[in-house]
Amino acid sequence: MRELYIGVMSGTSQDGVDVALVEFSAAGSNIHQATTTPYTGELGKRIKTLITRSQVTLQELGEVNVAIGNFFGQCILNLLETSDFGAYEITAIGHSGHTVHHKPEEPNAFTMQIGDSSTIAANTGITTVGNFRNMDMAFGGQGAPLAPAFHEWCFSDTKESRIVVNIGGIANISVLQPKLPLLGFDTGPGNTLLDNWTHRCTGKSFDHNGDWSKTGQINKPLLSALKKDINDMSQTFMTLKTNLDQKDEEIARYKDGYDATIYKNFLLRFTRVDKVIKEYIGDNKIDINGLKDIQIQMDDALAECGVEIFSPEIGADFKSTIGVADNPEIRETSDKSKDSTIVEILMHGYRRKLPGNDNDDYQIIIEAKVAIYVYKET
């Protein structure tokens, strides 16, 4: 089964409206017809006014919104007139509108596009879908959901990482990495700067085929500086990537081998303890001396694995003491100065010094149990 769709694109460079009639089927996609229609002088000026002025009225915004919807609709009808298809054969029109304001980094991030979908649908008689950008931003994106998806469909590879650059009015990139989520974001102005400079210097809306650029001379010092910046950034990126790869390898080795080594050490130590216990039981020698021997074996085993017994300081502030259980026994006191201080160690704690750390940083294995004073006025 085949389906026909019409896509409409109006970039921030304002050079015109692209319309494409595309067929999708199980066999793939096929572009039947495509046109580009430049903005009329008056409509182009009104759009630029909305973008460049700091304040516009709601009436101006509403009028241009509908005007662009009418213009989009006419561009679509013009395309259909030169195609072999009628409006009744088109499943839907998809358009993202024309961006007039875009603030993806604000606390209440938003983007604003104009080109009324209802006007397009009324003029063409075709179901029209729009407002993609706002939905993308509502889910945490940057308001450009279609380019990365298209790039993934066209250029992704199961073995190779790729970055696709799209230089429109605003440039953006798509990062395609095997087995990782698709990533895409804006990088900054693209053709908008080129077109504005071209218009300022030549009066033309854009530099067709780069003809005006070809008449200039290369600024070699500037080019060298830009190349150096790019090389420095590339070196920084590669260094960072190498460091991250090394850390990933270390983490993998840690996960695969370190835990197993710790368990093995504990087992070797405690098998010795187990042997001593069985010997005492077999010889009926369990007495105070035998228990002391077992305790010595246990302490040695813990020490060899880097685990030590610790006791919080009597009189220390309970709230600022690390490694104590948060359910202490309460002892009332009429001395306000002793409030919330440790009065007794009920059970020692166990901790392990973190490897490769010169500071007194420990991993708490079992928290110490303590009793504390709580002030009660008499």
pLDDT above 70: residue 288: no
Q: Are residues 64 and 133 in the same domain?
A: yes
Q: Are residues 124 and 31 in the same domain?
A: yes
Residue 294 is assigned to a structural domain of this protein: no
Q: Are residues 136 and 169 in the same domain?
A: no
Residue 198 is assigned to a structural domain of this protein: yes
pTM given for the model: 0.53
Measured CA to CA, the distance from residue 213 to residue 224 in angstroms comes to 18
Q: Which amino acid is at 376?
A: K
pLDDT above 60: residue 257: no
Residues 108-135: what's their mean pLDDT?
91
Residues 93-115: what's their mean pLDDT?
87
- What's 31's domain CATH number? 3.30.420.40
Expressed in angstroms, the distance from the first to the final Cα of the chain is 88
- The pairing of beta strand 98-103 with beta strand 329-333: unpaired
pLDDT top residue among 44 and 357: 44
Q: Are residues 181 and 258 in the same domain?
A: no
Q: Are residues 212 and 236 in the same domain?
A: no
Q: Are residues 48 and 165 in the same domain?
A: no
Residue 295 is assigned to a structural domain of this protein: no
Q: How far is CA 1 from the centre of its chain?
A: 38
pLDDT above 80: residue 246: no
Residues 186-192: what's their mean pLDDT?
82
Q: Are residues 23 and 122 in the same domain?
A: yes
Residue 296 is assigned to a structural domain of this protein: no
Residue 297 is assigned to a structural domain of this protein: no
CB–CB of 184/173 below 8 Å? yes
Of the three residues 216, 232, 258, the one that is the final residue of a domain is 216
Of the three residues 169, 187, 216, the one that is the final residue of a domain is 216
Tell me the pLDDT band of 250, cut-offs 50, 70 and 90.
Answer: confident
Q: Are residues 94 and 124 in the same domain?
A: yes
- What's 348's domain CATH number? 2.30.22.10
Q: Are residues 251 and 365 in the same domain?
A: no
Which tens digit of pLDDT belongs to each residue from 325-348?
889 999 999 998 999 999 999 988
Q: How far is CA 220 from the centre of its chain?
A: 37
pLDDT above 70: residue 134: yes
pLDDT above 80: residue 5: yes
Q: Are residues 239 and 185 in the same domain?
A: no
| pLDDT of the residue at 32 | 93
Residue 291 is assigned to a structural domain of this protein: no
For 228, the domain range is 218-285
Q: Are residues 154 and 105 in the same domain?
A: no
Count of structural domains, the chain: 4
Of the three residues 216, 244, 273, the one that is the final residue of a domain is 216
Residue 301 is assigned to a structural domain of this protein: no
Task: Show the tokens assigned to 194.
Answer: 């080129």
Residues 185-201: what's their mean pLDDT?
85
Measured CA to CA, the distance from residue 298 to residue 309 in angstroms comes to 11
Residue 83 is assigned to a structural domain of this protein: yes
Over the chain, what is the mean pLDDT? 84
Q: Are residues 89 and 102 in the same domain?
A: yes
| pLDDT of the residue at 284 | 64
